[in-house]
């Protein structure tokens, strides 16, 4: 009994550590002016979000998060940084009124979201199935939610072709 | 394990940080990074509702996978546009990109 309570409190502590990593990484991703710190903070925050998915009961989505976001998107952003502006140039100073207005707007948004989250009386569905398996997800992706699968395939294909044409054609035009 | 509202607060804070970044940065890559934070806030919301409220736990996971695919497509297109803009202007500051003529 004591042991179970012990693991419970350990899990609780791990949860708060992961939340702290996520929010800290998000802060690093937004506030420093050096773009490389931003990418590293983004990787930290996305890994933390993967941990949160683990706590929400889906290790499959957590692995996909690590694979797609941390593994692919962060690396693509690092490539774009290396191909664009040289890092030794000094970043321009921030414009204080703009920062203040952005902070005000996002604070208003945050207050609204927290109001919705706390004021609403969330009611669980009457019948809830407990089927979290990857087999069910795959089965549903190919039967009832077929459209999601097809649309995401089409969007990715269009994105690949568009990215190649945008990055390649402009090189031909400018050289 | 934790209450639904814990996850909702976490998602709202992530989304607001991303919103602030999008509004305040002038570096296009920085704006893209903040956009990824906003998408992750939305995904956490979906997964939390999926865990605590939804009748069918597979659906929220499918939606989250959909968001991930869209984020990957958006990052690829955004980064190639940023590269094209950098070749033309020699800068990725958003305030320099004011001309619409190609």
For A120-164, the pLDDT digits (tens) are 888 888 787 777 788 888 888 899 999 999 999 999 999 999 998
B79 lies in which domain range? 4-96
Q: How far is A2 from chain B (nearest CA, A)?
A: 18
Interface predicted TM-score (ipTM) of this complex, two decimals: 0.89
Residue A71: pLDDT over 60: yes
Residues A78 and A140 in one domain: no
Last residue of a domain, one of A87, A122, A151: A87
Helix (H) or strand (E) holding A118: helix A96-119
For residue B52, the domain's CATH number is 1.10.287.3510
A142 lies in which domain range? 134-175
Nearest C-alpha neighbor of A136 from the set A145, A123, A126 = A145
Domain membership flag for residue B33: yes
Q: What is the pLDDT of residues B62-101, one digit of tens each?
A: 999 999 999 999 999 988 888 888 887 777 777 777 766 6
Domain membership flag for residue A106: no
Query: The pTM is what?
Result: 0.87
Total of domains in chain A: 2
Sign of CA dihedral A150, A63, A73, B37: positive
Residues A69 and A139 in one domain: no
Residues A2 and A62 in one domain: yes
Domain membership flag for residue B102: no
Nearest residue in B to A45, CA atom: B37
Surface of A (18-37) touching B: CB under 8 A: 19, 22-23, 26-27, 29-30, 35
Domain membership flag for residue A127: no
Surface of A (52-111) touching B: CB under 8 A: 52-53, 55-58, 60-61, 64-65, 68-69, 72-73, 76-77, 79-81, 83-85, 91-92, 94, 98-99, 101-103, 105-107, 109-110
Domain membership flag for residue A52: yes
Calculate the average pLDDT of chain A: 86
Domain membership flag for residue A145: yes
For residue A27, the domain's CATH number is 1.20.120.1200
A148: exposed, middle or buried (C-beta count within 10 Å: 0-12, 13-18, 19+)?
A: middle
Domain membership flag for residue B12: yes
Residues A139 and A77 in one domain: no
Calculate the average pLDDT of chain B: 87
With a pLDDT cut of 90, the percent of chain B lying above it is 49
Domain membership flag for residue A66: yes
SS3 B93: strand
Determine the pLDDT at residue A28.
Answer: 94
Domain membership flag for residue A32: yes
Residues A8 and A76 in one domain: yes
Query: What residues have CB less than 8 Å from A106, skipping those under 6 apart?
Result: B16, B17, B19, B20, B23
């Amino acid at each position: 009994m004591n042991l179970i309570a012990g693991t419970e409190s350990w899990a609780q502590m791990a949860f708060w550590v992961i939340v702290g990593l996520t929010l800290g990484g998000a802060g690093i991703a937004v506030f420093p002016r050096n773009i490389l710190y931003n990418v590293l903070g983004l990787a930290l925050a996305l890994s933390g979000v993967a941990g949160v998915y683990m706590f929400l009961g889906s290790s499959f989505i957590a692995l996909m998060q690590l694979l797609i976001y941390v593994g692919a998107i962060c690396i693509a952003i690092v490539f774009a940084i290396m191909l664009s502006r040289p890092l030794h140039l000094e970043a321009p100073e921030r414009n204080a009124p703009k920062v203040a207005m952005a902070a005000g707007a996002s604070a208003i948004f945050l207050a609204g979201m927290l109001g919705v989250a706390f004021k609403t009386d969330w009611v669980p569905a009457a019948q809830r199935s407990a089927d979290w398996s990857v087999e069910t997800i795959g089965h549903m992706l190919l039967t009832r939610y077929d459209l999601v699968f097809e649309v995401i395939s089409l969007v990715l294909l269009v994105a690949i072709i568009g990215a190649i044409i945008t990055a390649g054609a402009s090189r031909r035009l400018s050289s | 394990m934790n209450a639904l509202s814990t996850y909702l607060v976490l998602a709202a804070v992530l989304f607001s940080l991303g919103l602030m970044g999008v509004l305040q940065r002038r570096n296009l890559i920085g704006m893209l990074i903040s956009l990824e934070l906003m998408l992750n806030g939305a995904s956490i919301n979906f997964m939390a509702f999926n865990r605590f409220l939804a009748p069918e736990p597979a659906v929220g996971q499918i939606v989250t996978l959909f968001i991930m695919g869209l984020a990957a497509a958006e990052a690829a297109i955004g980064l190639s546009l940023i590269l094209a803009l950098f070749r033309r202007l020699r800068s990725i500051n958003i305030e320099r990109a004011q001309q619409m003529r190609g």
